[in-house]
């Protein structure tokens, strides 16, 4: 399959320093990847299926908000028919940003976080819900979005 080059000439591929979300190199790359996905007619769900990942994770990678793993980078390059080295900027931890939807998700936690914490303590005991061992799903139900956070409970330990 022919690989389409994406220009990232101003990027030092040997650096492990993440580009800020407003970096022209990163924004150009993300725009090119978004355009390529659309040219191929791939929805996030279809691309995620090819990668063996969730559509939300794939969308986060393609927005520069999640780190792309090596095996997934290989699959993504193949799915988009691009050279894998093009994806190097996405393989380091990103500098994350925010927008109105993300702000509202923060607000949701600000408003309901204390109640969620209290319920968690009553149900599980003293501890936290992991953001590392976490699965997120989102589905549409009519005009509503249902977000499911499937998080591992991590109890605090006595020492």
Positions annotated as catalytic residues are 104, 107, 130
> How far is residue 70 CA from its own chain's centroid?
15
Pairwise CA distance, residues 120 & 131, whole Å: 14
Nearest to 61 by CA among 22, 16, 92, 103: 92
Pairwise CA distance, residues 23 & 66, whole Å: 16
Nearest to 51 by CA among 67, 29, 72, 34: 72
């Amino acid at each position: 399959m022919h690989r389409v080059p994406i220009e990232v000439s101003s990027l030092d591929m040997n650096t492990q320093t993440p580009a800020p979300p407003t970096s022209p190199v990163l924004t150009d790359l993300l725009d090119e990847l978004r355009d390529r996905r659309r040219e191929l007619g791939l929805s996030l769900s279809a691309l995620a299926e090819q990668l063996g990942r969730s559509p939300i994770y794939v969308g986060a990678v393609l927005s520069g908000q999640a780190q792309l793993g090596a095996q997934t980078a290989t699959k993504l390059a193949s799915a988009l028919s691009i050279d894998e080295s093009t994806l190097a900027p996405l393989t380091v931890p990103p500098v994350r940003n925010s927008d109105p939807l993300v702000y509202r998700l923060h607000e949701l936690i600000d408003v309901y976080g204390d109640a969620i914490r209290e319920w968690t303590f009553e149900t599980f005991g003293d501890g936290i819900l992991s953001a590392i061992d976490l699965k997120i799903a989102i589905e549409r139900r009519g005009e509503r979005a249902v977000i499911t956070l499937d998080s591992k409970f991590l109890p605090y330990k006595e020492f």
